[in-house]
Structure 1
Amino acid sequence: MRAALWLLALFAVAAAVALFAGNNQGTITVFWPPWRVDLSLNLVLVILLTLFVLLHAALRALAALFSLPTQARQWRMQQKERMLHSALLDAMVQLISGRFSRARKAAQAALTQEKTLAALGASLPQAQQVRVLSHLLAAESAQALQDRPARDAHLQQALNESADRNLLASPETREGVQLRAARWALEDRDPAAALARLEELPQGAQRRTLALRLRLRLKAARQDRRTLEALETARLLAKHRAFSEAAAQSIVRGLATELLSGAHDPAQLLRAWSELETVEREMPEVAIHAAQRMVLLKGDLPVARNWLLPAWERMVSLPRGLGDALRVKLALALEAGLDSVDADWLARIESAQRNNPRDANLQYLAGMACMKRQLWGKAQQLLSQAGMGLQDPELYRRAWLALAQLAEDRGDAEQAALAWRNAAQIDNHPVSLR
């Protein structure tokens, strides 16, 4: 369609020119003494048009000739700029591919090309950002090569280059450098330096990078053995869903257990327990570990049993709610305080065993409670049943030791010897997976 329109337009122009030139009788007389030259108007117009075209072509040729030095300079600048970006990209590729020496050389080549461009008077719009990124890549490569002096030198140069926020096109570049510095401090096991780097971030960056900053703070606090601060940070990360639900629970549970393990007397243990939130206190692993610490520190055993109550209720209501290892730990923690157990707990143990008569762990716990209360016959019955069904080697050994003691107290040497032998054969007993 366009070709047809152009053809029609060309025919129209040709027709107009033919009509104008065919009937044009005008002449132009040029007097050049002693000559007189008569020229047709059409010829003069053609000559003028030809002269205009020739003059225009000559001016264009002269302009191109005089612009050759400028074009050559621009071509050289363009080549150097391409080499600069190529070196920068090569540094990134070499870094992610694990070739750290090559990555550092490529980053240094990019810096050299940028300096050459600046010396030639060609200022890139992103020159400062290019320098910062080049120093950052060189520092990252030096960190991977364990060349800390070179890393610190490039890091300081990157921070110096990004110090002027008026010139920096992207303020996030400096924030990225500071975050990388915090990570390197963590890799060097220097949590104090990592926390100091994080504190240097502006408030806006702290809000934008909250999850990443909290992750770094969590690692730094754990390395610095600041368990309570690490636990508070993990709670914030769980709140902002920086981890999956299972991972968040695992991290919080581990930190809560570590906080309780740091207590060296009952008072410290009570303070550590008070720092935990209700959800954390109801975690069976945390409650059982707290009770075990209280027993180990010879603290208030009724308080420890109160801590165990949620885990106990969960085990009783949901037989599969606790794993085998936790059920064993819960039984051992309760057994440690059976000498001072109250009537409520005795009723709970008896009721749970009666409702689950085939549970060997409950049989063992009820049998030990009866033994503490000098109910010898019932204790022997329950412990004998438990000894046949227990899978945990520690409970198995304890059950047969208790049966041996009962047999010796009533003077039954044969049964005592059998019980001692069963307790000694613990290595041949099947062990459950913990």
Structure 2
Amino acid sequence: MRAALWLLALFGIAAAVALFAGNNQGTVTVFWPPWRVDLSLNLVLLLLAGAFVLLYAALRALAALLSLPHQARQWRVQQKERALHSSLLDAMVQLIAGRFSRARKAALAALAQERALEGLDVSLPQARQLRVLSHLLAAESAQSLQDRPARDAHLQLALNESAERGVLSPETREGVQLRSARWALEDRDPAAALARLEELPQGVQRRTLALRLHLKAARQERRTLEALQTARLLAKHRAFSEAAARSIVRGLATEVLSDSHDAAQLLRAWGALESNEREMPEVAIQAAQRMVLLNGDLAVARSWLLPVWERMVEQPRSLGDGLRVRLTRALEAGLDSVDADWLARIESAQRNNPRDANLQYLAGMACMKRQLWGKAQQLLTQAGLGLQDTELYRRAWLALAQLAEARDDAPQALAAWKRAAQTENL
């Protein structure tokens, strides 16, 4: 449609020119003494149009000729700028490919080309950001090559380039600081990593990447409670799968309890845990066992174990064999001071699950502490035939040997001592 309109317009112009030129009888007389030159008006108009076109073409040619040096300089700058970006991209590619020496060489080439452009009085809009990225790539390559002096030098230059606020986006400097924190972790220097992370703004410190680095640094620095708090934030940000987050939090909570050196410190550590962490069987059992080792209040330890015990009674398969053994040991340690409520719980659980060897052992030891010798012997004998844990098996037969000696039953005592001694060779 557009072509048809142009064609119609050309026909219209041609028709108008033909009408004007065909009927134009005007002349132009030029007096050049002693001559007189008569020219048709159409010819004069054609000569004027031709002169205008010739003059315009000459001016354009002269402008093009005068602009050749400027165009040549622009071409050289463009080639250097392309070489700069090419070197920067090559450094990234070589770094990803694991060619660290080539990556550093390409990054240094990019820096040299940027300096050459600066020497030509050419200011690139992203010149400072290009320098920061080039130094960062060179530092990353030096870190992979274990060249720490070169890494620190390039890192400091990158930090200096990104120090001026308002020139670069804040993410550029934050990225450099995060990378430096990761390098400190790779060098097993968690204190330096934490110092780098503390220099970041509060909002940046709560990013997933920063929290991951903070978690690793805190664990290396043995700041277990701080690591636990960081792991909680990561779990809320869904940085891990649900199973992985639970495993990490559980392990750190257990470490927090294990680091307690007295009962008061253990109570403070327990109070610092969240409710869902206290309900974890591994955490509660570890806290109770630690309280026993620290000679603390065993009633408090049993109160920590109560949710785990109720869970085991209601859902016998909810706890693995290892946890059931640990729970049995933790409760056994406080049988001397156990109250009537706990004795009733143990007896009721054993009656409801009479084939559970761990419950038979625990109930038998409780009866022995209460001097119920007959029932204790019956339960411990049944437990001794079914226990899989070596330590509980040995304790059960030691208790049976003591009961036999109390009855002056030497043959049975000898048999029990022999069974207990056999576990020493297992």
| TM-score > 0.5, shorter chain as reference | yes
Query: Which whole-Å CA distance do the structure 2 matches of 1:272 and 1:204 have between them?
Result: 28
Alignment-derived partner of residue 312 in structure 1: 309
Give CA-to-partner distance per residue, 1:153-190, whole Å, 9 cap, x none: 01111111111114x23122112111212222222222
Shift in Å, 1:262:
1.3
Shift in Å, 1:290:
1.3
Letter paired with 1:75 = W
Alignment-derived partner of residue 176 in structure 1: 175
- Residue 364 (1) aligns with residue 371 (2): no
Give CA-to-partner distance per residue, 1:298-328, whole Å, 9 cap, x none: 3322222122111111111111221221111
Shift in Å, 1:38:
1.6
- Residue 327 (1) aligns with residue 324 (2): yes
Query: Which of residues 245, 256, 261 is equivalent to 2:258?
Result: 261
Alignment-derived partner of residue 4 in structure 2: 4
Question: 1:335-350 counterparts in 2 under 5 A?
Answer: 335-350=332-347
Alignment-derived partner of residue 41 in structure 2: 41
Letter paired with 1:159 = L
Kindly, what percent of the aligned residue pairs are identical?
83
Shift in Å, 1:277:
2.8
Question: 1:206-355 counterparts in 2 under 5 A?
Answer: 206=205, 209-355=206-352
Query: Which of residues 386, 389, 393 is equivalent to 1:392?
Result: 389
Question: In 1, are the aligned partners of 2:204 and 2:210 still within 8 Å (CA)?
Answer: no
Shift in Å, 1:385:
2.7
Structure 2: runs of 5 or more not aligned:
none
Corresponding residue SS for 1:320: helix
Question: In 1, are the aligned partners of 2:142 and 2:150 still within 8 Å (CA)?
Answer: yes
Question: In 1, are the aligned partners of 2:162 and 2:168 still within 8 Å (CA)?
Answer: no
Using the size of structure 1 for normalisation, the TM-score is 0.91
Corresponding residue SS for 1:299: coil
Give CA-to-partner distance per residue, 1:55-103, whole Å, 9 cap, x none: 2112111111111111111000000000111111111111122221111
Letter paired with 1:255 = L
Query: Which whole-Å CA distance do the structure 1 matches of 2:360 and 2:52 have between them?
Result: 115
Give CA-to-partner distance per residue, 1:392-423, whole Å, 9 cap, x none: 33333333343344344444455445545554
Query: Which whole-Å CA distance do the structure 2 matches of 1:335 and 1:118 have between them?
Result: 79
Give CA-to-partner distance per residue, 1:21-65, whole Å, 9 cap, x none: 111111112222222222111112122212222221121111111
Query: Which whole-Å CA distance do the structure 1 matches of 2:25 and 2:211 have between them?
Result: 94
Alignment-derived partner of residue 108 in structure 1: 108
* Alignment root-mean-square deviation, CA: 2.2
Using the size of structure 2 for normalisation, the TM-score is 0.93
Query: Which whole-Å CA distance do the structure 2 matches of 1:405 and 1:10 have between them?
Result: 124
- Residue 152 (1) aligns with residue 152 (2): yes
Corresponding residue SS for 1:327: helix
Alignment-derived partner of residue 197 in structure 1: 196
Query: Which whole-Å CA distance do the structure 1 matches of 2:325 and 2:416 have between them?
Result: 21
How many residues are matched?
A: 426
Query: Which whole-Å CA distance do the structure 2 matches of 1:282 and 1:175 have between them?
Result: 39
Alignment-derived partner of residue 432 in structure 1: none
